[in-house]
């Protein structure tokens, strides 16, 4: 490994941290956007003595910081990314119960715990995928079908007194319909992804941005507007959760995020679904809290294991990892390089944890001072504009269609998780050779 300047090392960490705060708090801005800009600027930066290793460190710290901060717009603004779409629902539920700060603290703790647990699971997962990668990959089609069956068969719908034993099957039928509808939308979107045309050329936007913004963001905002949802006074303080739920939530999230980091075509959004299936129904005691712990752990663990996957199996699993691979060939990395990366991840995680906690205290107080219906209208307009800027006209069409489909679960009385068919159905067809 080349000699490292201490000044440039600290500067790179701080620059990546600041970019992570910006991307985490700004709906529509992803780490991939900054990674692409940094990679394109490498020749210019080298003229000023900034070698590729420092660019890699900026991208890495940006990715980790982002996973801590992105919970805030998801919970308080209803503006999700693909990675935080499912956590939006229980997080928003806690906010409407006056526990927005608690949701942020849960997420920050889940992300921080996943960093520690990732180091524990590092060698077992490395061994697993080093020796069984091909076998697991070949069975992904069957695994995904099994996930869908579990997801639908565990749907019980709203608990209403007097309903017969067959009522659950009515809700499962609704769930199946939502899965198929969102799945067809996903198939059409991915087949025509080339039509995604950002109004600003350098923006690197996935087709998932308009899809998830509609399915899980705008749909919820419209329902809030129609029902004149108001933000109750927000309580201060931490969270109380049994130790076994904390352990189960953080462990399931870390493992799901770590496993998915090694698999091609499987995003951390699918990892959040895997983690969700290990946790009790939405109405279960402590379910929302454990869910937030788990999903935050998924995203942070996925960001950490993505760099490990790049090193061990030489395959980038995200836009940020593609940029890192382009900056420095992973074949040139040494164990010292990985040790440096892990140490920096630990340091920036501590900084990001403190930042998230502090913002979690500040934001609820600010949100309470505004009319939530008016705020929801403004955010809905902002989301629409962002989708247009980042995805073009085709993205806006997907966004509107996804919004309509995303409203169905609320009226049908089933979980929004079935809208994940937008990802699952295209993946099932892909892995089964269709």
pLDDT score of 118: 94
- For residue 253, which of 195, 319, 198, 298 has the smallest C-alpha distance? 298
429 vs 420, higher pLDDT: 429
Taking the C-alpha atoms of residue 100 and residue 320, their distance in angstroms, rounded to an integer, is: 30
pLDDT score of 37: 78
| pLDDT tens digits, 101-145 | 899 999 999 999 999 999 999 889 888 887 888 888 888 889 889
pLDDT score of 158: 67
Please provide residue 180's backbone torsions phi and psi, each rounded to the nearest 5 degrees: -70, -45
Which tokens go with 372? Answer: 């939530």
Handedness of CA 25, 26, 28, 32 (dihedral sign): negative
Highest-pLDDT range among 275-284, 366-375, 393-402 = 393-402
Q: How many residues are present in the chain?
A: 434
User: Residue 136 is inside which H or E element, if any?
Assistant: helix 100-138
Cβ contacts of 391 within 8 Å, gap of 6 or more: 196, 197, 198, 205, 207, 209, 210, 398, 399
Tokens 């949802």: give the residue. Answer: 229
- For residue 125, which of 306, 376, 282, 337 has the smallest C-alpha distance? 306
Taking the C-alpha atoms of residue 370 and residue 323, their distance in angstroms, rounded to an integer, is: 40
| pLDDT tens digits, 267-279 | 666 777 777 666 6
Which tokens go with 113? Answer: 């715990």
pTM for the complete prediction? 0.82
Q: Could you give the count of Cα atoms lying within 13 Å of 235 in the half-sphere of its Cβ?
A: 12
pLDDT band at 339 (very low <50, low <70, confident <90, very high): very high
pLDDT band at 10 (very low <50, low <70, confident <90, very high): very high
Taking the C-alpha atoms of residue 17 and residue 23, their distance in angstroms, rounded to an integer, is: 10
Q: Reply yes or no on whether the pLDDT at 80 is more than 60.
A: no
Share of the chain above pLDDT 70, in %: 89
| pLDDT tens digits, 173-228 | 999 999 999 999 999 999 999 898 888 765 666 788 899 889 888 888 888 788 77
pLDDT score of 192: 92
pLDDT score of 86: 58
| pLDDT tens digits, 22-34 | 988 887 677 877 8
């Amino acid at each position: 490994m080349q000699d490292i300047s201490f000044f440039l090392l600290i500067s790179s960490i701080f620059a990546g941290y600041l970019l992570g705060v910006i991307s985490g708090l700004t709906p529509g801005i992803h780490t991939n956007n900054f990674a692409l800009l940094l990679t394109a600027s490498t020749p210019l930066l080298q003229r000023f003595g900034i070698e590729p290793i420092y660019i890699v460190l900026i991208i890495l710290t940006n990715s980790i910081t982002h996973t801590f901060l992105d919970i805030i717009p998801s919970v308080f603004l209803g503006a999700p990314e693909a990675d935080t779409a499912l956590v939006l629902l229980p997080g928003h539920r806690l906010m409407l119960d006056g526990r927005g700060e608690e949701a942020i603290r849960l997420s920050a703790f889940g992300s921080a715990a996943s960093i520690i647990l990732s180091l524990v699971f590092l060698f077992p997962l490395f061994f697993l995928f080093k020796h069984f990668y091909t076998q697991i990959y070949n069975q992904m089609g069957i695994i995904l079908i099994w996930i869908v069956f579990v997801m639908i068969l565990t749907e019980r719908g709203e608990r209403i007194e007097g309903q017969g034993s067959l009522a659950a099957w009515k809700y499962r039928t609704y769930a199946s319909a939502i899965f198929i509808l969102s799945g067809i939308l996903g198939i059409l979107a991915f087949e025509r992804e080339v039509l995604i045309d950002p109004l600003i050329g350098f923006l690197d936007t996935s087709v998932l941005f308009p899809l998830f913004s509609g399915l899980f963001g705008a749909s919820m905002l419209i329902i809030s507007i129609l029902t004149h949802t108001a933000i109750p006074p927000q309580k201060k303080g931490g969270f109380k959760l049994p130790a076994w739920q904390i352990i189960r939530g953080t462990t399931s999230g870390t493992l799901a995020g770590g496993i998915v980091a090694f698999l091609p075509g499987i995003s951390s959004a699918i990892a959040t679904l895997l983690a969700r299936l290990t946790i009790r129904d939405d109405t279960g005691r402590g379910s929302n809290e454990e869910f937030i712990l788990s999903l935050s752990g998924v995203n942070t663990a996925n960001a950490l294991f993505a760099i490990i996957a790049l090193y061990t199996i030489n395959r980038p699993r995200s836009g940020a990892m593609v940029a890192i691979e382009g900056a420095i060939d992973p074949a040139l990395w040494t164990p010292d390089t990985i040790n440096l990366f892990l140490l920096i991840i630990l340091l920036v995680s501590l900084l990001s944890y403190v930042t998230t906690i502090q913002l979690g205290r500040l934001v609820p107080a600010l949100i309470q001072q505004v009319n939530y219906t008016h705020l929801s209208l403004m955010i809905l307009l902002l989301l629409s504009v962002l989708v247009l800027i980042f995805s073009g006209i085709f993205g806006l069409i997907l966004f509107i269609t996804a919004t309509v489909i995303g409203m169905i679960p609320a009226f049908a009385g089933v979980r929004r998780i079935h809208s994940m068919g937008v990802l699952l159905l295209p993946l099932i067809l892909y892995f089964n050779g269709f």
